[in-house]
Chains A and B, each alone.
Chain A
């Protein structure tokens, strides 16, 4: 690692101020950033630790919306009872030690194309609250590792619409245990949303064809005949584009079966 300082603000205002100094970068759970720093893929001059920021903690539900502090750990999200489909997803990220440190804000800011939370946010609908604005879920993700966030912008909270029924199916990449393909299906009163992670070169996306079929008939049978095209799907040693496209169908089918 290159050398850097660590700032430990206690309030959001202090954190915002600290993010303005030199080459500052946010540090949340560190479960992605620390491995990145070890590889010298980032060279911040100061890391702004968000773990002590009071305004960024906690989980609360109101009027069908679950609000989760940006610094809430995967463990805390796994432990909440308001949104079972999300709790289950969070409880299967990485391993217990990763879940004790890693946070929802860090995961969404990073937008790894194989990460789990992006699928949950996109299928839930809702928004990302930052130190300066609120960004709709549909506008937040902008391709692999790319988001609508500005360089010094901090995710302070995540607001998710709690669906009537939901389920996340994750096909494990056997080495990393991230999603080789993950599908989150959420049935809302105003329609079904289906978000796919791990599969596309464009990062997380909504499978609108499946959404239409499921909004008309929320049953596994409604998606049995659907095939996602292989164009634009990721090709690597873990799977071909065709394999990933096939898995999207299988995981969607399983998610609907588990949710309905």
Chain B
């Protein structure tokens, strides 16, 4: 079947099967490989994108369900001039990534959090990231980066 959606502001369409996952359509169909697949079992959050403004796991939604939706992926996060967004820059400044595999999902979750709650507490940041797993950083610098991106002091983080 044919699906059409607005991806990072641009209308896109393509042929999918019923079983085609949104993440497969984004990566394979549209070549947007910034969205990662870490587990494919709905647990790691590497595949988080926004559908109509809400964070979802793109490995746990069918492309057909996103027909007609507005989708934002990590490729749509940088500023118009190509410079890093505030959240992305904060990840770089605070060493919020090592291998970078989890980072697209972390940034998309962080963006969803800061939209709902622009000045979260450290505890709220940690709770919001419950579905985003990182095998490298130990999370502290990710939390620091998100606190910094929200314009708050970062010294209060638990460790690191």
Q: CB within 8 Å of B: which residues of A?
A: 1-6, 8, 27, 30-31, 34-35, 37-38, 46-47, 49, 51, 75, 94-98, 100-101, 177
| Pairwise interchain contact B112-A96, C-beta atoms closer than 8 A | yes
Q: Give the interface segment out of B4-12, B59-67, B140-148.
A: B59-67
- Residues of B close to A4: CB separation below 8 A: 18-19
Residue of B nearest to A2 (CB): B19
Residue of A nearest to B132 (CB): A95
- Pick from A27, A46, A96: contact of B109, CB under 8 Å: A96
Closest-CB distance, B61 to chain A (whole angstroms): 6
Tell yes or no: B56 within 8 A of A by CB: yes
12 more A-B residue pairs beyond the given contacts A34-B21, A35-B41, with a C-beta to C-beta distance below 8 A: A2-B19, A5-B18, A6-B1, A30-B60, A35-B42, A38-B40, A94-B130, A96-B113, A100-B54, A100-B55, A101-B60, A177-B130
- Residues of A close to B41: CB separation below 8 A: 35, 38
What are some 21 contacts across the A-B interface (CB < 8 A)?
A3-B17, A3-B19, A4-B18, A5-B1, A30-B61, A34-B21, A34-B42, A34-B61, A35-B41, A35-B42, A38-B40, A96-B109, A96-B131, A97-B45, A97-B48, A97-B55, A97-B56, A97-B109, A100-B55, A101-B56, A101-B61
Q: Decide yes or no: A47 and B18 within 8 Å by CB, A31-B60, A38-B41 being known contacts.
A: yes
- Residues of A close to B130: CB separation below 8 A: 94-96, 177
- Residues of B close to A46: CB separation below 8 A: 18
| Cα–Cα distance between A6 and B60 once the two chains are bound (Å) | 15
- Residues of B close to A100: CB separation below 8 A: 54-56
| Pairwise interchain contact B19-A98, C-beta atoms closer than 8 A | no
| Pairwise interchain contact A98-B42, C-beta atoms closer than 8 A | yes
Closest-CB distance, B68 to chain A (whole angstroms): 10
| Cα–Cα distance between A2 and B18 once the two chains are bound (Å) | 10
- Residues of A close to B128: CB separation below 8 A: 95-96
Q: Mark B23-67, 1 if CB is under 8 A from A, else 0.
A: 000000000000000001110010010000011110111101101
| Cα–Cα distance between A5 and B21 once the two chains are bound (Å) | 13
| Cα–Cα distance between A248 and B57 once the two chains are bound (Å) | 33
Closest-CB distance, B137 to chain A (whole angstroms): 18
Interface centre among A4, A34, A37 (most CB of B within 10 A): A34
Number of B interface residues in the complex (CB < 8 A) = 28
Q: Is the interface of A mostly helix, strand, loop or mixed?
A: mixed
| Cα–Cα distance between A195 and B64 once the two chains are bound (Å) | 38
| Cα–Cα distance between A27 and B19 once the two chains are bound (Å) | 12
Closest-CB distance, B46 to chain A (whole angstroms): 11
| Cα–Cα distance between A244 and B100 once the two chains are bound (Å) | 39
Q: Decide yes or no: A8 and B19 within 8 Å by CB, A34-B42, A100-B56 being known contacts.
A: no
- Residues of B close to A94: CB separation below 8 A: 130-131
- Residues of B close to A177: CB separation below 8 A: 130
Residue of B nearest to A31 (CB): B60
| Cα–Cα distance between A31 and B61 once the two chains are bound (Å) | 8
- Residues of B close to A35: CB separation below 8 A: 41-42, 60
- Pick from B54, B57, B64, B131: contact of A6, CB under 8 Å: B64
Residue of A nearest to B113 (CB): A96
Interface centre among B21, B42, B112 (most CB of A within 10 A): B42
5 cross-chain pairs, A with B, having the tightest CB-CB distances, nearest first: A95-B131, A95-B130, A6-B18, A100-B54, A1-B19
Mark out the residues of chain B between 99 and 130 whose CB falls within 8 Å of any chain A CB in the assembled complex: 109, 112-113, 128, 130
- Pick from B1, B54, B65, B109: contact of A51, CB under 8 Å: B65
| Pairwise interchain contact B48-A30, C-beta atoms closer than 8 A | no
Closest-CB distance, B159 to chain A (whole angstroms): 20
Closest-CB distance, A243 to chain B (whole angstroms): 24
| Cα–Cα distance between A35 and B48 once the two chains are bound (Å) | 16
- Pick from A27, A34, A49, A96: contact of B55, CB under 8 Å: A96
| Pairwise interchain contact B19-A37, C-beta atoms closer than 8 A | yes
